[in-house]
Amino acid sequence: MPFELDFILLSIISGILASYVLLANALWLQSLKLPRLDFSTAMANLTYGEQFEGKPPYFAGMIVIYFNGIIFALLYSTVVAQYLPGEPIVKGAIWGAVLWFFSGIFYVPFILKEGFFLSHIHPMAWFSSGIVHGMYGLVVGWLAPIHTAAG
């Protein structure tokens, strides 16, 4: 069954809003004496670093983060959520935890070279990352539609 336009748009909007929550809280967590995580700078340096003289622009990293947030929201809406247990917000929280886990085990140590669960950044960076990924998942679970096998 093909996906309808409103389903895709709602999924995209939920990914944008959830990414905003992730980015804003990653920068704000230092007010709670937790490490500040600057995902946008890290992504700008990783994806565009050698293409610019000097540092790549901050907004370039934000574009990558928002793009990832949209892709993961679409993946959640179309494939993953129908197989997760619980109400939509619980499904979203589980999805956020899954993203945090796989990021900490695979992406962060092998692509960013920052150690497992950001251990090279700060001893409590894993906790900050878990909080913001969980918040991303909660927002996606709250807002994103869920496609079921029955349609």
pLDDT of 125 higher than 60: yes
Structure tokens at 88: 């939509």
In tens, the pLDDT along 65-82 reads 999 999 999 999 999 999
pTM for this prediction: 0.93
Which range, of 31-40, 53-62, 99-108, averages the lowest pLDDT? 53-62
DSSP 3-state assignment of 84? coil
* HSE of 56, CA atoms in CB hemisphere, 13 A: 19
The predicted structure's pLDDT at residue 2: 66
The pLDDT of residue 26 is above 60: yes
CA distance 27 to 105: 22
Nearest Cα residue to 132 out of 13, 1, 39: 39
Cβ-count burial 85-110 (b if 16+ within 10 Å, e if not): eeebeebbbbbbebbbeebbeeebbe
Residue 100: pLDDT above 60?
yes
Contact assessment for residue 141 and residue 88, using Cβ atoms and an 8 Å cutoff: yes
